[in-house]
Structure 1
Amino acid sequence: MNGKIRFAPSPTGYLHEGHLLSALYVWAAAQKWGLHIHLRIEDHDQSRARPEYIQSIYEDLSWFGFSWDSQSIQSERGRIYEAALQKLKAQNLVYPCYCSRKQLENENPKSETGEIVYKGKCREQGSASAIDTPHNLRVKIADKVIEWHDLRLGDFSENPKFQCGDFPIKDRDNQWTYQFAVCVDDIDEGITHVVRGEDIRSSTARQIELMGLLGRTSPPVYYHHPLIVDTSGKKLSKREMAHSLRQDKNAGISPKSLLGKVCFEAHLQPQNTPITLQQALNLAADRL
């Protein structure tokens, strides 16, 4: 095999059509480029992750006919994350942040995408506050431009300092953040290709920067695929209570019908007609 790709759902709800589309692109890329498929369960948010959602991921993917070569679950990788944290601390790149959510919203500007750009108040103040006070751990981000290429969207030149500023790698509930865990995992698990929805594109530059701080010399190959949106133009999400694949399965709808529907909604085929998994993969592969 020529490399390794991952499918990385979070078990904070049941899979929906957006996940199915992303899986199609991941498995299509693996077939087209000869990649090992790694299934990663991203349950870093222990306040929302549920065992039944984890089990449903395995069951739903298998129901459609997806198979994978290896798997991992973030909640079992604490020692690996801790070692990565110590590596950043040894470079004096981590500091505690005691700002409340209200302070963050009131004292910092927002980027063009509406994201808070942290200006480094606690970095400047140092660690004077009591360490047992609830706090985030932030990583120091340099003022520099990250240049990267997306196989679908083209070239980007972005400066994370002005996209988000120093971002959290551990939250005040002592949980590892998405940005940190995904970077550590992509390094440790040898991920060479990242295929994911274009809603995560804005995280790429900061992830490349963090992976560099952790010792990775070259970033993965990236492809950000288009999304399925609802009637209001919003992307499907668990927070918006998107209709789940499990609901359709329990209602007696076949995998072929769901695959055809998703490929139609994603403009991969012109009509809403049932298709096999391999046919759906072929349609996605034509867009890569």
Structure 2
Amino acid sequence: MSGKTRFAPSPTGYLHEGHLLSALYVWAAAEAFGLKIHLRIEDHDQSRARPEYIKSIYEDLEWFGFEYDSDSIQSKRNPVYEEALARLDNAGLVYPCFCSRKQLEAENPKSDTGEIVYSGKCRKVNTSMDTLVPSALRCDEQPHNLRVIIPDKVIKWHDMRLGDFDENPKLQCGDFPIRDRDMQWTYQFAVCVDDIDEGITHIVRGEDIRSSTARQIALMQLLGRETPPAYLHHSLIVDATGKKLSKRERAHSLRQDRDAGLSKETLLGRVCFKANLQPENTPLSLAEAISLAKQVL
């Protein structure tokens, strides 16, 4: 095995069918490309993460039979994030932002996807063309988040399923936060630091996160990783209204199905049917489900 991929659920609720489908694609990619598998618990959002959800992730994966080579929990990796932040700060690439959510919505344009494109208002206040940004880590004003200065350039990247993309993060979102007002690491920052530090070579995830890719590649370049991972964004399971399954929307959990007595074969078959990996809703073993997912990689 010459590479590594990862399965990275957030413990803000119990796993649902969308997570199971994503796991199938991750394990399918590992088989297809000869990769090790790393389980990452992404509990950077400590306001929503719960110990019982972390415990359930391990239990559910074991129940289905998913095996992995290593694991980590983001909340135990603060020294790694602090070191990465210090490197960006020493390079003059981080600045404090005091804009409230209300200000951000009122003062900044939105992209075609409805995402706020930050104008760099607080960067312009904190720096000039001839000086580096004063150390954001010494800023004692509250509340504020920390933003990273993203270069104005096109990022070219390839998706193994969706093809080639040319995207400019400066136009997609502008300088984005890497630590929030509650001193929590943001998803964008933590995932980039982790993917570098943990040696992730292949990223397999849902296509709902595809728009984050260019900005993550840009941030990884600032952190010293010039060659980005290989990417594959898989299709999603959606509800009757066309929305993706979400813990915020109280999606039905796999734990509820287990407690109701459904077998893992039944759940695997149902997920593969909903994802159009098989024509009928028939039970499948884990090996059979992974094999179906591998056919569409």
- Please give the range of the TM-score, normalised by the shorter of the 2 chains: over 0.9
CA distance in 1, matches of 2:76, 2:152: 34
1:9 matched to 2:13? The reply is: no
Deviation (angstroms), 1:224: 0.1
- The one-letter amino acid of 1:217's match is E
In the TM superposition, 1:203-214 aligns within 5 A as: 203-214=212-223
CA distance in 1, matches of 2:72, 2:281: 35
1:190 matched to 2:199? The reply is: yes
Deviation (angstroms), 1:195: 0.3
CA distance in 1, matches of 2:81, 2:146: 13
- The one-letter amino acid of 1:262's match is V
User: Match for residue 92 of structure 2?
Assistant: 92
RMSD: 1.1
User: Match for residue 140 of structure 1?
Assistant: 149
SS in 2 for 1:39: strand
In the TM superposition, 1:136-175 aligns within 5 A as: 136-175=145-184
CA distance in 1, matches of 2:232, 2:164: 11
User: Match for residue 80 of structure 1?
Assistant: 80
Structure 1: any 5+ residue segments left out of the alignment? none
- The one-letter amino acid of 1:168's match is P
Question: May I ask how many residue pairs the two structures share in their alignment?
Answer: 288
CA distance in 2, matches of 1:210, 1:152: 23
SS in 2 for 1:233: coil
Deviating 4+ runs (over 3 angstroms): 127-130
1:272 matched to 2:255? The reply is: no
SS in 2 for 1:92: coil
User: Match for residue 32 of structure 2?
Assistant: 32
CA distance in 1, matches of 2:200, 2:96: 30
User: Match for residue 252 of structure 1?
Assistant: 261
- The one-letter amino acid of 1:209's match is A
CA distance in 2, matches of 1:99, 1:226: 35
Deviation (angstroms), 1:77: 0.3
- The one-letter amino acid of 2:270's match is K
SS in 1 for 2:39: strand
CA distance in 1, matches of 2:11, 2:112: 29
- The one-letter amino acid of 1:94's match is V
Deviations 1:187-245 (A, max 9, x none): 00000000000000000000000000000010000000000000000000000100000
Structure 2: any 5+ residue segments left out of the alignment? 128-133
Deviations 1:110-142 (A, max 9, x none): 111111110100000118996231101000011
Deviations 1:155-183 (A, max 9, x none): 00000001000000000000000000000
CA distance in 2, matches of 1:135, 1:187: 27
- The one-letter amino acid of 1:173's match is D
- The one-letter amino acid of 2:65's match is G
CA distance in 2, matches of 1:111, 1:226: 23
1:240 matched to 2:249? The reply is: yes
CA distance in 1, matches of 2:117, 2:141: 25
CA distance in 1, matches of 2:114, 2:249: 18
Deviation (angstroms), 1:2: 1.8
User: Match for residue 272 of structure 2?
Assistant: 263
Deviations 1:48-78 (A, max 9, x none): 0000000000000111110100000000000
SS in 1 for 2:212: helix
CA distance in 1, matches of 2:202, 2:142: 39
CA distance in 2, matches of 1:20, 1:109: 36
SS in 1 for 2:184: coil
127-136 or 53-62: which moved more?
127-136
User: Match for residue 130 of structure 2?
Assistant: none
Percent identity over the alignment is 74
Deviations 1:85-106 (A, max 9, x none): 0110111000000000000000
- The one-letter amino acid of 2:197's match is D
CA distance in 2, matches of 1:131, 1:256: 55
CA distance in 2, matches of 1:133, 1:17: 40
User: Match for residue 228 of structure 1?
Assistant: 237
